[in-house]
Amino acid sequence: MGVWKCVRNNVLRLPSSGLSFGLFVVGGFTVVLTCAPAAPTREAARSLQQKVAVILQLAEAPARQPRRTTVTDHEINSYLAFDAGSQIPAGVVEPELSSLGNGRVSARAVVDLDAVRGQKSQRSLLDPMNFLMGRVAVTATGTIKASDGIGRVEFETASIGPIPVPKIVLQEIVGYYTRTAERPSGLSLDDAFALPARIRAIQVEAGHAVVIQ
């Protein structure tokens, strides 16, 4: 997928290094497809793992001058396709990420809405989740603000299949699939987060992101 000249339909997690992909992806999937992206490759997946290793090494050797590592959408999506299986929650498949430029990110994944809906025994008649079921593509877009070692995602839009949905629906889906023993409610779309590995900022440009340490 490289540095795209087109915009395509991707916060999950990176390799077992522990560097969170929540940095790059928390949402997003509205797509304007103007050209066919390159297919994922194992070579690109390996390239991403090598770059993550460099980022972690740089974190152990602070420097006066900023150091930059560029990570492309092609590398991220190749890693997600070939090597991220055990790090992706059960019920989530085909995750993809697109860097749109100016900090904006688009993400897409197919999720099991029946599992999400079943986490509550009772719902109000007006709850949108009453009308959503099955395995469906969830898409969302947002803007990543990442500077001074702190990141935040500003929600823009979300949809389930072709149907736009409010932020509260996306939050329930994200919360369900990011639950842990330490965080039983999962991640909040509004939470700020510390950037790992001494990362000071992330610049999201068209087709790639630049990690600054």
pLDDT digit string (tens) for 177-206?
Answer: 999 999 999 999 999 999 999 999 999 999
Angle between helices 73-82 and 42-59 (to 10 degrees): 110
Q: Is residue 56 part of a domain?
A: yes
Q: Is residue 116 part of a domain?
A: yes
Question: Which DSSP helix (H) or strand (E) runs through 187?
Answer: none
**Residue 31 predicted with pLDDT over 50:** no
Confidence of residue 6 (pLDDT cuts 50, 70, 90): very low
Average pLDDT over residues 153-179: 95
pLDDT the model gives residue 37: 64
Total number of domains constituting the chain: 1
Q: Per-residue pLDDT tens for 66-110?
A: 999 999 999 999 999 999 988 999 899 999 999 999 999 999 999
Specify whether the CB–CB gap between 186 and 176 falls below 8 A: yes
Distance of CA 157 to the CA centre of its chain: 14
| Amino acid letter, residue 68 | R
pTM of the shown model: 0.80
Higher pLDDT, 209 or 131: 209
Q: Is residue 3 part of a domain?
A: no
Q: Is residue 10 part of a domain?
A: no
Q: Is residue 1 part of a domain?
A: no
Q: Is residue 15 part of a domain?
A: no
Q: Is residue 11 part of a domain?
A: no
Residue 125 tokens, joined:
């008649």
pLDDT the model gives residue 138: 97
- Please give the span between the terminal C-alpha atoms of the chain, in angstroms, as a whole number: 25
Q: Is residue 91 part of a domain?
A: yes
Domain containing residue 53: 21-212
